[in-house]
């Protein structure tokens, strides 16, 4: 039976598209299906990508929670409800693909209890540029002569941002001719590949066990 993937997105959904393509005509065909796409932003183009592929979608925005409960309590309530939404979908695996919301223990704890794994894609090497603007920070470090390469990784999600155990890592050289834009293009190309490979490895290991 194919593994059920719930994909969390916030933006254009190019990584989501690579997953959809792989489930339809690539290495995930017959092994995994995207059963639901959830976004924290209603205008995320990834929702349209999912709809075009016939995949159910939902939107779970943070702002209404902050307005009703205040920042801290609203955030906690939002995360608790997010966990409940995900668990109700009964996924084999949750994939953060351009999901721009830090997952707190209120999300991760309930998922762990249900034995639902969650993975994330990050455009940097382990421990190098955790958090936001990783590509820009790597580019600036290269210009300062501090590094000559960066990369991308897929990792298990823990409470420490981008600090979970890596599943797949691929290095990307930073050339003297690179701009931020060309470096972004190179890293995005790597991201699409390793995200699909990581999902394939996880679902294959699960089906074999």
CATH number of domain containing 125:
3.40.50.170
Whole domain around residue 156: which residue ranges?
A: 3-206
Is the pLDDT at 159 greater than 90? The verdict is no
H or E stretch at 121: strand 117-122
Angle at 7 between CA 3 and CA 8, to 5 degrees: 155
pLDDT of amino acid 144: 96
Of the pLDDT bands very low, low, confident and very high (cuts 50, 70, 90), residue 142 is very high
pLDDT of amino acid 162: 86
pLDDT of amino acid 161: 86
Is the pLDDT at 208 greater than 70? The verdict is no
Average pLDDT, the chain: 95
Q: What is the mean pLDDT of residues 41-45?
A: 96
The side-by-side arrangement of strands in the sheet containing 57-59 is: 57-59, 32-39, 3-9, 93-96, 117-122, 149-156, 166-173
- Cβ–Cβ under 8 Å, residues 90 and 4: yes
How many domains are contained in the chain? 1
Q: What is the pTM of this model?
A: 0.94
Contacts of 55 (CB under 8 A, 6+ apart): 20, 34, 35, 36, 37
Is the pLDDT at 42 greater than 90? The verdict is yes
Q: Which are the catalytic amino acids?
A: 122
Cα separation, 51 vs 9, whole angstroms:
14
């Amino acid at each position: 039976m194919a593994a059920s993937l719930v994909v969390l997105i916030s933006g254009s959904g190019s990584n989501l598209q690579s997953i959809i393509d792989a489930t339809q005509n690539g290495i995930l065909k017959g092994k995994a299906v995207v059963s639901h796409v959830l976004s924290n932003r209603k205008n995320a183009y990834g929702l349209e990508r999912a709809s075009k592929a016939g995949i159910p979608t939902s939107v779970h925005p943070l702002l209404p929670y902050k307005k009703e409960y205040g920042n801290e309590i609203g955030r906690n309530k939002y995360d608790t409800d997010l966990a409940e939404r995900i668990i109700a979908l009964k996924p084999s695996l949750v994939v953060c693909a351009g999901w721009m919301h830090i997952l707190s223990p209120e999300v991760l704890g309930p998922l762990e209890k249900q034995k639902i794994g969650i993975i994330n894609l990050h455009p940097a090497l382990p421990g190098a540029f955790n958090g936001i603007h990783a590509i820009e920070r790597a580019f600036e470090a290269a210009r300062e002569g501090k590094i000559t390469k960066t990369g991308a990784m897929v990792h298990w999600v823990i409470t420490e941002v981008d600090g979970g155990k890596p599943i797949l890592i691929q290095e990307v050289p930073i050339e003297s001719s690179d701009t931020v834009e060309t470096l972004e293009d190179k890293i995005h190309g790597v991201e699409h590949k390793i995200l699909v490979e990581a999902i394939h490895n996880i679902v294959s290991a699960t089906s074999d066990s």
